Structure 1
Amino acid sequence: MTQWQTLSVTEAEAMLYDGPMLLLDMRDFRSYLSGHHPAALHLNDSNLRALIKHTARSVPVLIYCYHGHASQDMAQLFSDFGFTSCYSLDGGYEAWYPSISRPLDAISHELCGWLVDNEFDPTNLDQRGDNQNTALMQACREGNFAIAHELVMAGAGIDLVNKDGNNALWMACHSKNARIVKLLLDNDIDMDQQNDHGATALIYAVSIGHNPLVAQLLEAGADTSPTTLDDFSVLDVAASTSTLRLLQHHILPDNHPVNRFVA
């Protein structure tokens, strides 16, 4: 019975950033050097034995070749050696290449330089860095509108999340940059994304008492109903009386007793 599975590019990307995975490129070394997934290790006759011997059998293994054929045999080999989760990439590197690589002339010199300076691959705008942050997340956290704008326009993944479950909108709220927040909202980012603690960008903005951001998110239609894992609502985490008033006027009817009291 076949114990390995094939994965689409979309499924592979999701699994790769969902947790630890051994990603192996089994093409020839010259092809590997000319271009490969940033997380991929080159698989060859010299390191195959060591990888099988020293890798925990519980670690998922994803293998790609040129077109998705030879990788199936290699996935079966790893499965035969007791690896419990073995995958072959459907379509191989040729299927993955368009989403992980782009010509350098497609981006500006300024963006290319910024990416290199921050240790991101200019040919892969969705490469993950520390804490699985993308370049867009970092630019938003820095409050760098010009870089964030070009990344969005160049097609960087806008709804990706980092290891903590935060997306670029959370980072933009952290930098308190209203222009970047508007940029992301105008490009349909998930404004109600809940991180690993259940907090949304609105909950964060409320918790730091930044009323302009709170108002901006509320006007954009941010959902006020989500609660954190500790069951705290936006009203519970309001950092100031003025923030609480802002929320109450938005959430409660104008004739509600609370609104008449705090107005």
Structure 2
Amino acid sequence: MSLHTKTVPVVRESASRRAAPRADTALRNGRSAALATWLSSHDFPDIHSRGIDGITPLMLASLHGEDRVVATLLDEGARIAALDDEGNHALWYACLGGAPAPILRLVEAGIEIDHANDNDITCLMQAAASGRVEVMQLLLSLGASEGPSAPDGRNAFDMAADRGFELLRTVRRLGNAKQGSPGADSHCADAGRPAIEADVFADKAA
């Protein structure tokens, strides 16, 4: 009876293949260290802790437009659906800050884009009421719904229209004050309002 020894081929990894896992680990460790420094500088013990008004690290980073921190927090398991004391999540803060990158990242990560806070206000409504047209456009392009209404019955487009009228009246008041004719303010605003309303609601209908 003869015994045969099975030869097992030796697979040699290239230096680049062997180095890749170490490089990935080093990069991850570097990000974790940077995140730990960021958390400490903002008085957060960990990624799940809360600050004043229930704000989380993810909310604060989103507000400040710190997309790298947002990305690292999400990678480390930060709760994307966490709410502050008024029922707002991280997307609300990203929209307040206005930087596109955190908004895009949070929506891509699965945050609820049409979430309404404790006052039944969505992120789209908040952007509209604040006159943040660029944020409105971005949210709509990402699938935000214009349908939800606030307790007063207005939707986001109604709020945007009201904000537009308010800004227009302010500009006209400033212009009239500069010209020294305050009496013309109400006349100009009232005369221009019907035409502007027609334009706004024509755009909405389109």
> Which residue matches 1:117?
41
How far residue 261 of structure 1 moved from its aligned partner, in angstroms, is 9.3
Deviations 1:192-238 (A, max 9, x none): 11011111000011111222211111011111111122322112211
Task: Determine what percentage of the aligned residue pairs are the same residue.
Answer: 29
**Residue correspondence of structure 1 range 147-158 to structure 2 within 5 A:** 147-158=69-80
> Which residue matches 2:53?
131
Rounded Cα–Cα distance in structure 2 between residues aligned with 1:202 and 1:258: 18
- Is 1:235 aligned with 2:160? no
**Residue correspondence of structure 1 range 61-72 to structure 2 within 5 A:** none
Alpha carbons of 1:261 and 1:167: their partners in 2 closer, same or farther (altered >3 Å)?
A: closer
- Is 1:193 aligned with 2:136? no
**Residue correspondence of structure 1 range 1-263 to structure 2 within 5 A:** 108-122=32-46, 125-238=47-160, 239-240=163-164, 258-259=201-202
How far residue 117 of structure 1 moved from its aligned partner, in angstroms, is 1.2
Deviations 1:88-111 (A, max 9, x none): xxxxxxxxxxxxxxxx95952211
Aligned residue identity for 1:206:
A
Aligned residue identity for 2:39:
L
Aligned residue identity for 1:259:
A
Alpha carbons of 1:108 and 1:234: their partners in 2 closer, same or farther (altered >3 Å)?
A: same
Q: Is the 8 A contact 1:185 1:191 kept in 2?
A: yes
TM-score by length of 1: 0.50
> Which residue matches 1:90?
none
Aligned residue identity for 1:235:
F
Aligned residue identity for 2:118:
D
Rounded Cα–Cα distance in structure 1 between residues aligned with 2:52 and 2:132: 27
Q: Is the 8 A contact 1:107 1:154 kept in 2?
A: no
- The structure carrying a bigger strand percent of its residues is 1
Alpha carbons of 1:115 and 1:233: their partners in 2 closer, same or farther (altered >3 Å)?
A: same
Aligned residue identity for 1:111:
L
Alpha carbons of 1:183 and 1:261: their partners in 2 closer, same or farther (altered >3 Å)?
A: closer
TM-score by length of 2: 0.63
Rounded Cα–Cα distance in structure 1 between residues aligned with 2:52 and 2:110: 25
Aligned residue identity for 2:112:
D
Rounded Cα–Cα distance in structure 2 between residues aligned with 1:258 and 1:235: 9
- For structure 1, the residue ranges without an aligned partner over 5 or more in a row are 1-103, 242-256
Rounded Cα–Cα distance in structure 2 between residues aligned with 1:208 and 1:148: 24
CA RMSD of aligned residues (A): 2.4
- For structure 2, the residue ranges without an aligned partner over 5 or more in a row are 1-27, 166-199
Alpha carbons of 1:117 and 1:218: their partners in 2 closer, same or farther (altered >3 Å)?
A: same
Aligned residue identity for 2:43:
E
Alpha carbons of 1:195 and 1:106: their partners in 2 closer, same or farther (altered >3 Å)?
A: farther
Aligned residues: 143
Rounded Cα–Cα distance in structure 1 between residues aligned with 2:102 and 2:113: 13
The DSSP-based 3-state class of the residue aligned with 1:128 is: coil
